[in-house]
């Protein structure tokens, strides 16, 4: 596993450097472009009789547990880094719009995408069940908070629009998980959905994630109030993100939603109690983690 991590770190760093020196594109777009060019190069090498790089890539990817990698390591860290730059007071001002988009908006998007996917696939002669199309809709309906924050920051969007969309992208995870879990259960069992089942899933994943996140954030705030050493504060936040996401996965609550809530607790309350140097070091550390993991992802 360490060899795989080292390989991805090297590839990410190399592509980031090439983008900085030659492509001059925004970070996320430039890294994606570089990765696509590398994929084309590997395919071309295979076509001309040198398939060893493709075999190595397939072998590497087949050994990755993407659920653990994304849900326990990458996504919680990216979400936490994003939360540190969010103004909680602004979120409160737009709470009803954010709540509506993160719940009803996700459900509507799932239905619309599911129907459209079903129609397109069937028009192409691909007979796919409507339930599978809804499952696909639940997968891609939630907006990606990392991409949203990066694009809106670069585009110079109006503040009200920026706060609403960023807030929705941070909290839509709970609704999406419930929708996906219900649809996945129906696909496996062939049964009918029930309101009680949907309610229990929502309480467990979404509400449970919020409550757990509040406890996790509150505990971390109490710890950080006793710390003025920058490197220890960084270690505490790092353990909170990785350890907190691992525990959330074990108790079956939404890890991303829990880390978002915990991150907002820290950003709203605790940074006022840190000295300027500690505050700057913690922010700088998570900014670097954000840039690096975005490129790796």
Over residues 262-286, mean pLDDT: 80
Q: How far apart are CA 232 and CA 31, in angstroms?
A: 32
**Confidence category of residue 1, pLDDT binned at 50, 70, 90:** low
pLDDT tens readout for residues 154-182: 777 787 887 888 788 878 877 787 788 77
Task: Note the pLDDT of residue 111.
Answer: 93
DSSP letter (8 states) at residue 77: H
Interhelix angle for 2-18 vs 276-296, to 10°?
Answer: 100
The 3 state secondary structure assigned to 208-246 is: HHHHHHHHHHHHHHHHHCCCCCHHHHHHHHHHHHHHHHH
Instruction: Give the position of tokens 């309101």.
Output: 195
How far apart, in whole angstroms, are the C-alpha atoms of residue 76 and residue 285? 15
* 123's tokens: 């028009």
Q: Categorize the per-residue pLDDT at 200 as very low, low, confident or very high, splitting at 50, 70 and 90.
A: confident
Cα separation, 237 vs 17, whole angstroms: 28
pLDDT 10s digits, 108-150: 999 999 999 999 999 999 989 898 999 999 988 887 766 676 6
Which stretch, 150-154, 196-200, 251-255, 274-278, has highest mean pLDDT? 251-255
Distance CA(205)–CA(248), nearest Å, equals: 9
| Residue 278, token pair as written in the block | 């500690």
What is the average pLDDT value for the chain, to the nearest integer? 85
Q: What is the pLDDT of residue 145?
A: 65
Tell me the two tokens of residue 62: 């087949």
pTM, 2 dp = 0.77
Whether the CB-CB separation of 209 and 257 falls below 8 Å is answered with yes
- Annotate 237-277 with DSSP letters as a single string: HHHHHHHHHHHHHHTTS-HHHHHHHHHHHHHHHGGGGS-HH
């Amino acid at each position: 596993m360490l060899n795989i991590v080292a390989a991805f770190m090297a590839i990410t760093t190399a592509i980031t450097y090439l983008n900085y020196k030659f492509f001059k594109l925004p970070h996320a777009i430039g890294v994606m472009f570089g990765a696509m060019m590398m994929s084309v190069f590997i395919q071309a090498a295979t076509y001309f009789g040198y398939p060893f790089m493709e075999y190595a890539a397939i072998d590497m990817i087949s050994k990755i547990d993407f659920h653990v990698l994304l849900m326990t390591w990458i996504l919680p860290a990216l979400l936490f880094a994003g939360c540190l730059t969010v103004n909680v007071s602004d979120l409160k001002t737009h709470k009803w719009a954010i709540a509506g988009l993160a719940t009803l908006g996700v459900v509507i998007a799932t239905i619309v995408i599911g129907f459209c996917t079903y129609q397109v696939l069937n028009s192409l002669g691909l007979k796919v069940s409507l339930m599978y199309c809804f499952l696909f809709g639940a997968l891609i309906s939630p907006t990606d908070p990392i991409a949203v924050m990066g694009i809106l920051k670069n585009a110079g969007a109006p503040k009200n629009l920026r706060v609403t969309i960023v807030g929705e992208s941070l909290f839509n995870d709970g609704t999406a998980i419930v929708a996906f879990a219900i649809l996945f259960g129906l696909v496996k069992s062939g049964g009918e959905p029930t309101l009680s089942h949907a309610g229990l899933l929502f309480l467990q994943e979404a509400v449970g994630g919020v409550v757990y996140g509040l406890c996790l954030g509150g505990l971390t705030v109490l710890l950080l109030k006793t710390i003025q050493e920058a490197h220890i504060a960084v270690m505490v936040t790092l353990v909170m993100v990785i350890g907190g996401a691992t525990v959330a996965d074990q108790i079956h609550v939404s890890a991303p939603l829990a880390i978002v809530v915990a991150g907002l607790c820290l950003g709203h309350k605790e940074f006022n109690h840190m000295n300027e140097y500690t505050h700057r070091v913690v922010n700088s550390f998570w900014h670097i983690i954000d840039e690096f993991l975005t490129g790796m992802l």
